[in-house]
Chain A
């Protein structure tokens, strides 16, 4: 993992001190709320329906036990004993008092954490594959490049007042777990014919009001030129992106208005001017950052654990958790263990301070001190010895963290919605809770296979409904909460935007609707077909019919 040196530590400490000054000016009345707003928004502090909300960055989703313990401490001291993991691999606190926020940030700074650029029209926290450095299917660990992007983008003087927020995601696997095709910039590390690794650069994807799958503007960018190429893209966007209409200000609108070809031309032209101007890091610094991400001291182990095979025999519950929540690791004898933050009927992404500490202890003991946050609002222990999995599972189970539903129908992404968010049309969380309760049976869930439900409480699409196999969007119809269903979206390497199917449904009907869709899928599927596969094979109409047929 990356560790701060004196420079990084000074940056974060100075930022915390600066923000303390800004809060003091607000509290003394020197700044009005209106004047304070742009300042707090540069530092992840939102004013929500009932209180302030602070969003803390977890760069590319990687953090340590020590950091998790500090997050638990902050949840207890400054919140109501909870935190909430988001779709940006961040954590949010929903109830801090303004006067306490500077202390909270100081507490975080001590463990190399901050809220820098978790909001505002700047380059946001860079996200990545939650299995980075552990996945059997990756070309190389993408995180050194994420860290390089983090540093370059932090307080970038030219790009702190962009037309709109700007999100970059990086993957190094053909199985895209970072949703790179629906980001402002998506980067895919891959090998070219000559055996070198470089980036495919994808621009102009995004969700929100007008969803787009991004365009590849470069198939292969040599890695060492990453920063100058990003700077060229951002400069074109900063100068040319629309500023007259909030809803047309994201880079996706510019790319699609110009056309991907012309946009590529603008970027390449700018890049030609700056590629040798000293933006790109020298090899020594690239290597220095890579050294932080060297693989931990894995043991030489047999691929199969005899103990594990004995433990799973006769323990159906543990066996299911292994099947559903663990993933192949690149090192024999190890596994990647997912921790679901989606208990049946629970609030997606919520975690108590005690649960955070349980996860911290597990990471400490069994996963080389590493934890990952996922964009699907779950956690990961990336490097667990197979023979330790049973111990890990028992602790998780005791902590209420062993729900075996990763990737299944109750592993729902939901935005905060009307329970917290000032922009919401509808609630999201209770819909997620009711769907999960309705389809609670884990045997049934497992037999349904991969099925991604994503719920947003308004068109801003924080719950990624456009890329849900089943998406649910809250709309306001004459003051009443309605839900629009979309089908066939995907955030993966086969990215697609879901299609709206028919009229909105009341909150009472939407859970029934999901159940009907699921039943219909079951009746239509061939062996091995996921929900998404069936939808792509037979199209929207039969699903619509099933959904709206008179009961």
Chain B
């Protein structure tokens, strides 16, 4: 499966990733025996794991991998926001599993910046389909209501 990455948080450019595959460890394995996985670079978090106290676990990893067992199982959207916003994790959050073209923008808005997804052309088009967003999320896009206020104040 091809890996696509965003050039920056929010709505950067998307392109195929070039570097070496990461060394993965699951959250359970990591918590049971961190010493044995000292060289791991990517933490794989299942979508039914609580991420409430995960800050110290994720902080040492370059990559956090969140799972969509099916495209319609949307728990990882909330996990991503919590890890990005509440844990202030600034590394790569990668989407794995049921990653469909028409979900990529939702994922980006929730803090994902890497995707196991095969078609870079489709991904690029999908991320350009909407100019605005109504609500704040984990990306840097100002919600419509803030843009309205800015316009009104400038006028």
Residues of A within 8 A of B (CB): 5, 7-8, 10-11, 14-15, 17-18, 22, 38-39, 42, 121, 151-152, 154-162, 227, 235, 238-239, 243, 273, 277-279, 281-282, 284-285, 288
Q: Write the nearest CB–CB distance from B22 to chain A, whole angstroms.
A: 25
Query: Given A151-B144, A161-B74, do A284 and B149 touch, yes or no (CB 8 Å)?
Result: yes
A-B CB pair tally, cutoff 8 Å = 102
Complexed CA–CA distance, A355 and B25 (Å): 64
- CB <8 Å contact, A278 and B137: no
- CB <8 Å contact, A18 and B129: yes
- CB <8 Å contact, B110 and A157: yes
Complexed CA–CA distance, A15 and B73 (Å): 23
Contact with A along B42-55 (1 / 0, CB 8 A): 00000000100000
- CB <8 Å contact, B110 and A285: no
13 additional A-B pairs beyond A154-B134, A277-B85, beta carbons within 8 Å, are A8-B144, A11-B132, A39-B102, A157-B106, A157-B107, A159-B77, A161-B71, A161-B77, A227-B135, A239-B50, A239-B75, A239-B78, A288-B148
- CB <8 Å contact, B135 and A156: yes
Q: Write the nearest CB–CB distance from B74 to chain A, whole angstroms.
A: 3
Question: Chain B contacts of A161 at CB under 8 A?
Answer: 71-74, 77, 103, 106
B153 (CB) vs chain A CBs: closest residue: A284
A-B contact pairs, 26 of them (CB 8 A): A5-B148, A10-B131, A10-B132, A11-B144, A14-B131, A18-B129, A18-B130, A39-B102, A42-B102, A121-B74, A155-B130, A157-B77, A157-B105, A157-B106, A157-B110, A157-B133, A158-B109, A158-B137, A159-B74, A160-B103, A161-B106, A238-B74, A239-B50, A277-B85, A279-B135, A282-B145
Complexed CA–CA distance, A121 and B103 (Å): 14
Q: Which of B32-70 contact A (CB under 8 A)?
A: 50
Contact with A along B136-148 (1 / 0, CB 8 A): 1100000011011
Complexed CA–CA distance, A288 and B129 (Å): 27
Complexed CA–CA distance, A158 and B66 (Å): 14
Is B31 an interface residue, CB under 8 A from the partner?
A: no
Number of interface residues of B (CB under 8 A): 36
Choose one: B109, B129, B134, B149; the contact of A282 (CB below 8 Å).
B149
- CB <8 Å contact, B74 and A284: no
- CB <8 Å contact, A11 and B136: no
Question: Chain B contacts of A285 at CB under 8 A?
Answer: 145, 148-149
Is B27 an interface residue, CB under 8 A from the partner?
A: no
Choose one: B71, B75, B86, B130; the contact of A14 (CB below 8 Å).
B130
Is B94 an interface residue, CB under 8 A from the partner?
A: no
Q: Is the interface of B mostly helix, strand, loop or mixed?
A: helix
Complexed CA–CA distance, A8 and B152 (Å): 16
Complexed CA–CA distance, A279 and B133 (Å): 13
Question: Chain A contacts of B100 at CB under 8 A?
Answer: 38
Choose one: B50, B77, B131, B145; the contact of A158 (CB below 8 Å).
B77
Question: Chain B contacts of A273 at CB under 8 A?
Answer: 86
B109 (CB) vs chain A CBs: closest residue: A157
- CB <8 Å contact, A278 and B136: yes
Complexed CA–CA distance, A204 and B39 (Å): 46
Complexed CA–CA distance, A273 and B78 (Å): 14
- CB <8 Å contact, B77 and A22: no
Contact with A along B108-122 (1 / 0, CB 8 A): 111000000000000
B72 (CB) vs chain A CBs: closest residue: A161
Question: Chain B contacts of A155 at CB under 8 A?
Answer: 106, 130, 133-134
Is B5 an interface residue, CB under 8 A from the partner?
A: no
Is B96 an interface residue, CB under 8 A from the partner?
A: no
Question: Chain A contacts of B71 at CB under 8 A?
Answer: 38, 161
Question: Chain A contacts of B133 at CB under 8 A?
Answer: 155, 157
Question: Chain A contacts of B106 at CB under 8 A?
Answer: 155, 157-158, 160-161
Complexed CA–CA distance, A8 and B129 (Å): 14
Complexed CA–CA distance, A199 and B134 (Å): 22
Most buried by B among A8, A14, A155, A281: A155
Q: Write the nearest CB–CB distance from B133 to chain A, whole angstroms.
A: 7
Q: Write the nearest CB–CB distance from B117 to chain A, whole angstroms.
A: 14
Complexed CA–CA distance, A275 and B88 (Å): 17
Q: Write the nearest CB–CB distance from A39 to chain B, whole angstroms.
A: 6
Query: Given A17-B129, A38-B72, A238-B74, do A152 and B148 touch, yes or no (CB 8 Å)?
Result: no
- CB <8 Å contact, B129 and A158: no
Question: Chain A contacts of B148 at CB under 8 A?
Answer: 5, 7, 285, 288
Complexed CA–CA distance, A535 and B102 (Å): 51
- CB <8 Å contact, A279 and B136: yes
The 6 closest A-B pairs by CB, nearest first: A161-B74, A157-B109, A157-B106, A285-B145, A7-B144, A158-B77
Complexed CA–CA distance, A292 and B135 (Å): 20
B131 (CB) vs chain A CBs: closest residue: A10
Complexed CA–CA distance, A285 and B146 (Å): 8
Question: Chain B contacts of A288 at CB under 8 A?
Answer: 148, 152
Question: Chain B contacts of A42 at CB under 8 A?
Answer: 102
Complexed CA–CA distance, A161 and B144 (Å): 22
Query: Given A22-B102, A284-B149, do A11 and B134 touch, yes or no (CB 8 Å)?
Result: yes
Most buried by B among A239, A278, A284: A239
Question: Chain B contacts of A17 at CB under 8 A?
Answer: 129
Most buried by A among B109, B129, B144: B144
Q: Write the nearest CB–CB distance from B29 to chain A, whole angstroms.
A: 23
Question: Chain A contacts of B130 at CB under 8 A?
Answer: 11, 14-15, 18, 155
